[in-house]
């Protein structure tokens, strides 16, 4: 089983990204869950979302304390200790940042694989809004590889429809290409 913890801020689409990832995994024959974790926070407050992806039925529910993958969709959250909390040394840390992966790895003091992409730049240039969730799905696909890029693209287009789908697909593709991985 692969457990993923997403960190973002309310309104940036972390919950939506987790849902799209779960649908893509199911499309590929996996069992998958997507769960949000937030209270009465307002737009801009830190939020988490979670995925579990497995080739066997998933009976576990609830938050993920020791993730295999952490995805941070807002660079301002990288200063919080909770983003690296519990990540396995064999895990993958995927972040939206202008930093190079080696630089971020050193800053965070993690031993796992680190992938970075300037998803905010991609979102602003492609979508014309600072919402990085679909860009980070592209980074996830490149760094983790559990689901195929093509399946994610299909699910992103399905989720956002004919008007916004093509732009979000472009954001996923561009982030996939620009993601750098170390470790």
HSE (side-chain half, CA atoms, 13 Å) at 113: 20
Residue 87 φ/ψ region, left for φ over 0, alpha for ψ in the -120 to 50 degree band, beta for the rest? beta
pLDDT in the model for residue 160: 97
Give the total number of structural domains in the chain. Answer: 1
**What value does the mean pLDDT take over residues 97-124?**
96
Domain span holding position 23: 2-182
Nearest to 110 by CA among 90, 138, 96: 90
Which residues contact residue 71 at a Cβ distance below 8 angstroms, ignoring those fewer than 6 apart? 4, 5, 6, 7, 14, 17, 94, 95, 136, 139, 140
Nearest to 46 by CA among 19, 16, 80: 80
pLDDT band at 69 (very low <50, low <70, confident <90, very high): very high
Q: Chain centroid to CA 141: how far?
A: 9
pLDDT surpassing 60 at residue 103: yes
Cα→Cα distances 6→56, 65, 155, Å = 22, 12, 18
Residue, of 62 and 114, whose pLDDT is higher:
114
pLDDT in the model for residue 35: 93
CATH of the domain at 43: 3.40.920.10
pLDDT digits (tens, 9 = 90+) for 14-33: 999 999 999 999 999 999 99
pLDDT in the model for residue 43: 72
Cα–Cα–Cα angle for 52, 136, 174, rounded to 5 degrees: 135
pLDDT digits (tens, 9 = 90+) for 40-54: 556 778 889 999 999
Give the chain as a DSSP string. Answer: -EEEEEEEETTS-HHHHHHHHHHHHHHTT-EEEEEEE--SPPTTSEEEEEEEEESS-----S--SS-SEEEE--GGGGGSGGGTTT--TT-EEEEE-SS-HHHHHHHHT--SEEEEE-HHHHHHHHTSSS--HHHHHHHHHHHH-SS-HHHHHHHHHHHHHHHHHHHHHHHHHHHHHH-EEE-
């Amino acid at each position: 089983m692969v457990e993923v913890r997403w960190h973002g801020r309310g309104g940036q689409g972390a919950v939506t990204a987790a849902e799209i990832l779960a649908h893509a995994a199911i499309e590929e024959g996996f069992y998958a869950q997507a769960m949000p974790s937030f209270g009465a926070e307002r737009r801009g407050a830190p939020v988490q979302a979670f995925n579990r992806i497995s080739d066997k039925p998933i009976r576990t529910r609830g938050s993920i304390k020791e993730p295999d993958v952490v995805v941070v969709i807002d660079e301002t959250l990288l200063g919080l200790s909770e983003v690296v909390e519990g990540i396995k040394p064999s895990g993958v840390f995927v972040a939206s940042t202008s930093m190079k992966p080696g630089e971020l790895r050193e800053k965070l003091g993690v031993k796992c694989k680190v992938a970075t992409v300037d998803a905010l730049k991609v979102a602003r240039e492609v979508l014309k809004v600072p919402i990085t969730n679909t860009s980070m799905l592209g980074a996830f696909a490149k760094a983790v590889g559990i689901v195929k890029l093509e399946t994610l693209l299909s699910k992103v287009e399905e989720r956002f429809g004919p008007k916004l789908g093509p732009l979000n697909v472009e954001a996923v593709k561009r982030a996939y290409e620009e993601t750098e991985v170390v470790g």
